[in-house]
Structure 1
Amino acid sequence: MSDPELHGASLSCVGVVPLEGRGALPFVALHGEPLFLHAVRTLLATPSVRDVVVTADPDTVAEAEQELAAAQLPVEVLEAAGWWQAWDRSPSVPPRVALVDPLCPLVPCAFVARVLSEVTTDTAVAGYRPVTDTVKTVVDDQIVGTLDRDRLAVVASPVVVPGRLAGRGAPPVHDFALLADWLRERTELHLVRAPSMARRVGDESALRVLECLDELGRSVHEA
């Protein structure tokens, strides 16, 4: 997909896996294949997603293309700046965009499908995970308080951007926390609690924990 306006409003959703700003972590293997391929497969398996694209920084486009070709996944890789600028300039109303962060590699397809089935074309929505760590506030190197974890959330996947926001500036998809702020400034944002396997990994050690939890869950189901 080279320009969102080429795809008519009949499409219910365009799925995007944004690699930009995430360094090499999307290419680290999970269950034998790069993280971002899991996100691609999730979107390809979601019935209401009619087209899937991977966006990437210029220096990672070729590597992403090679991995997709090796996995025989028919998904185009486009430079992030060009794709989002085209979306933002589209004179017609594009379909909603469903983003799955490659660092949320095991978000269940059923959850993505449920979110998309429950929101309208004008609704912005984001999956989230509750904060479980204790969060302290610090002033001048001194701990001065503890934040209420019930009022905090970690943005996960999917994040759905309504097409009517095209023309309001390209969204900051390199950071889903910033993306949530961007959406709140322009429209109402609904948060939907995501299952535990939809958690975001910030480094390879967190990835290995997620991988072990997934393998444990599979072994329990198979027992």
Structure 2
Amino acid sequence: MTTYDDEPTPALGAVIEQERGSLPFALLHGEALVTCAAWALGESGVTPVDLGTEWAGLVDAGEPFVLHDSLCPMTPGWFITACLERAVATSAVIVGVRPVTDTVKGVVDGVVGETVDRDGLLTICSPVVLPAGVVEALDELPGLDFTELVAALAARFPVEYVEAPAQARRVGSLDDLAVLAALTRPS
């Protein structure tokens, strides 16, 4: 929540590029994905910290912790801020998601089966916001893969999923990056 003097909600955050291969260093509009993600985190008013920061230091800060995936480089700062404010207001872990738009088929014994209903499916993107109480309850992050991280957090804490704007989509390949570049091409 924004304070009465329009100061941003105090929070710490990190851009996650570890365990993502070389893709975070691919260029989008002339900048590395990790750089674009860092700019978005900065625009949100979150104070960046190195992921190597001791967890006890994050606990001592008593602030929410925002994780922004470098593979979601164009997530707008305003969306990160909105997720942060929601985490503070609800004390729930807030996760940015996108609806699944591809056709998904089940596979049984190596045979392609029926189409899965997409209505119940989501793609995790950015950010993942841990309220201060969740930061305090953890000894460390349960992982850096956002799907596994959210599953581990959901097993212990309330989690809310918030639909992210289209430009917040996750890239997993250079082909995905070309789509994101077209979607976010500057005017």
Query: TM-score range with shorter-chain normalisation?
Result: 0.7 to 0.9
- The letter for the 1-side match of 2:126 is S
Contact in 2 for aligned 1:19/1:54 (Cα 8 Å): no
Q: Paired residue for 1:164? A: 133
Match of 2:98 among 129, 132, 139: 129
- The letter for the 1-side match of 2:62 is P
- The letter for the 1-side match of 2:48 is V
Q: Paired residue for 2:69? A: 101
- Matched residue of 2:126: which SS? strand
Verify: 1:140 aligned to 2:138, yes or no: no
Unmatched runs of 5 consecutive residues or more in structure 1: 1-10, 56-78
- Matched residue of 2:97: which SS? strand
Q: Which runs of 4+ in 1 moved over 6 A?
A: none
Instruction: Provide, for residues 154-192 of structure 1, a one-character-per-residue CA deviation record: whole Å limited to 9, x for no partner.
Output: 001111012323353422442111111011011000000
> After the TM superposition, which residues 14-93 of structure 1 pair with which residues of structure 2 at under 5 Å, given as runs?
14-47=12-45, 49=46, 51-55=47-51, 79=52, 83=53, 86-87=54-55, 92=60
Q: Distance in 2 between matches of 1:90 and 1:39?
A: 21
User: What is the deviation of 1:144?
Assistant: 2.7
Structure index of larger Rg: 1
- Matched residue of 1:155: which SS? strand
Q: Paired residue for 2:146? A: 176
TM-score by length of 2: 0.86
Q: Paired residue for 1:185? A: 155
- Matched residue of 2:128: which SS? strand
Verify: 1:214 aligned to 2:181, yes or no: no
Instruction: Provide, for residues 120-162 of structure 1, a one-character-per-residue CA deviation record: whole Å limited to 9, x for no partner.
Output: 2632100100001111111111123221101000001111012
- Matched residue of 1:206: which SS? helix
Q: Distance in 1 between matches of 2:59 and 2:43?
A: 29
- Matched residue of 1:104: which SS? coil
User: What is the deviation of 1:209?
Assistant: 1.4
Contact in 2 for aligned 1:100/1:159 (Cα 8 Å): yes
Instruction: Provide, for residues 44-79 of structure 1, a one-character-per-residue CA deviation record: whole Å limited to 9, x for no partner.
Output: 1113x2x20243xxxxxxxxxxxxxxxxxxxxxxx4
Contact in 2 for aligned 1:88/1:168 (Cα 8 Å): no
Q: Distance in 2 between matches of 1:213 and 1:192?
A: 21
Q: Paired residue for 1:73? A: none
- Matched residue of 2:141: which SS? coil
- The letter for the 2-side match of 1:152 is L
Contact in 1 for aligned 2:59/2:132 (Cα 8 Å): no
Verify: 1:112 aligned to 2:87, yes or no: no
Q: Comparing both structures, which one devotes a greater share of its residues to helix?
A: 1
Q: How many residues align?
A: 177
TM-score by length of 1: 0.73
Percent identity of equivalent pairs: 37
Say what the alpha-carbon RMSD is for the aligned residues: 2.0
